[in-house]
Structure 1
Amino acid sequence: MTMTVHEEGMRKSWIWMAVLAVISLIGGVLALFNPFAATLAATMMAGWVFALLGIVQIFQAFQVQGWGGFIWALLFGLLSLIVGGSLIFNPLAGMISLTLLVAVLFIATGVVKIMYSFSLRPVTGWGWVLFSGLVSLVLGVMILADFPASAASILGILLGVELISNGVLFLFVALGLRNLR
């Protein structure tokens, strides 16, 4: 069977996907070995993203003359810039804020998944949704139970797990692309 040009290009790109896998896996392992440094890096990265978003939003607000939403776009940009600046210039406090936000998000998504699972009860596999909701809920409670001490490491641990998960994903995609025929 002949490959299309698109498929041939995908097959040839497997090495780049493998490189991404290795970088992601190494980054994940390093993050797990030093969760505090990874948490600090994640906080700083979030700060720079918020700051950049704020600058772009402020710039965009001034691009449209006579726009009724100007003040709201400007305020959104200023708020994003302030949040970014506070994370950049006070990353330890930012770690605490972001960890609290993560804990609340885990609890909220846990509760939503649990409620969703009950609505799926006639469907096969609804128990996995319930299990996922319980895991999210327990993780959120565990983070809050050790708060604020958990702020020093939890974001780095989550970053490490995410990087390793992405590395495994990239590795399997790379192997699949390499074997594309």
Structure 2
Amino acid sequence: MSEGKKLRRGFGWLTVLGAVLVVGGIVGLVYTGVATLTSMLLFGWLLLVGGLVGVLQAVQSRGSNFFWLGVVVAALNLAAGIVVIRHPESTAEALTMFAALLFLTGGVFRLVGSVVVRGPQFGWTLVQGAFGVLLGLFVLFDWPHSSLYVLGCFFSLALLFDGLGLIAIGMGGRQMVNMVSAATPGDQEETHN
């Protein structure tokens, strides 16, 4: 198999993965509550796996100065993972509150910074700040009900845009490989045979 065919196949798989992520993102936007719980459970399992890996690393580093630090970090990851898996709704509420406060404070800093500095991006920074404040207030005023959809919506949008990016890379990469293959006489003979 020629290099061109291998590259086309690889870019094709990127496009397929992108399409799967786009479908997952759209389904998540339709069912934001399920996406929120799914993302919380995934987060909890990732914390558990990270804690187990941390325990193994701590055991391997016995006798070093970082042993106890590794044990503490691993224990915290394990405990947090168990809490998130056992109480995904409460975790979603806490993370939604945290996200709302981040949007609110980030928006306020952008607003104040844009007014004080008045740099070349004054208008965009002002709009970003206002949007951050409005988003933070919107999530806070509807809290704890907003925790049912906010994280799932963000998770689904991330899947959707990551998928669109992979589709663009896959399709663009295939087109570039086709253009290079068409310009290279040796590759062209292999594709015709």
| 2:57 aligned partner | 60
**Unmatched tracts of structure 1, length 5 or more:** none
Which structure has the larger Rg? 2
* Structure-to-structure mapping, 1:105-116, within 5 angstroms: 105-114=102-111
Distance in structure 1 (CA, Å) of the matches to 2:127 and 2:65: 47
Change (3 A) 1:81 1:160: same
Matched, 1:138 2:166: no
Once the 2 structures are TM-superposed, how far is the Cα of residue 101 of structure 1 from its aligned partner? 2.2
* Structure-to-structure mapping, 1:1-181, within 5 angstroms: 10-114=7-111, 117=114, 121-123=118-120, 125-180=121-176, 181=179
Once the 2 structures are TM-superposed, how far is the Cα of residue 19 of structure 1 from its aligned partner? 0.5
Please tell me the residue identity of whatever aligns with 1:162.
Answer: A
Once the 2 structures are TM-superposed, how far is the Cα of residue 8 of structure 1 from its aligned partner? 7.4
Provide the TM-score with structure 2 as the length reference: 0.79
Provide the TM-score with structure 1 as the length reference: 0.84
Map Cα deviations across residues 117-166 of structure 1 (whole Å, 9 max, x no partner).
5676433x443233233323322221111110111111111112111111
Distance in structure 2 (CA, Å) of the matches to 1:118 and 1:53: 43
Once the 2 structures are TM-superposed, how far is the Cα of residue 116 of structure 1 from its aligned partner? 5.5
The answer to which of 32-41 and 137-146 deviates more is 137-146
Change (3 A) 1:136 1:20: farther
Distance in structure 2 (CA, Å) of the matches to 1:12 and 1:116: 48
Distance in structure 2 (CA, Å) of the matches to 1:38 and 1:106: 21
SS in 2 for 1:68: coil
Aligned length: 175
SS in 2 for 1:22: helix
Please tell me the residue identity of whatever aligns with 2:80.
Answer: V
Map Cα deviations across residues 2-26 of structure 1 (whole Å, 9 max, x no partner).
xxx6x87545422112112211110
Q: Which one has the bigger helix percentage?
A: 2
| 2:189 aligned partner | none
Distance in structure 1 (CA, Å) of the matches to 2:77 and 2:58: 13
Change (3 A) 1:137 1:9: farther
SS in 2 for 1:75: helix
Distance in structure 2 (CA, Å) of the matches to 1:111 and 1:50: 32
Please tell me the residue identity of whatever aligns with 2:171.
Answer: L
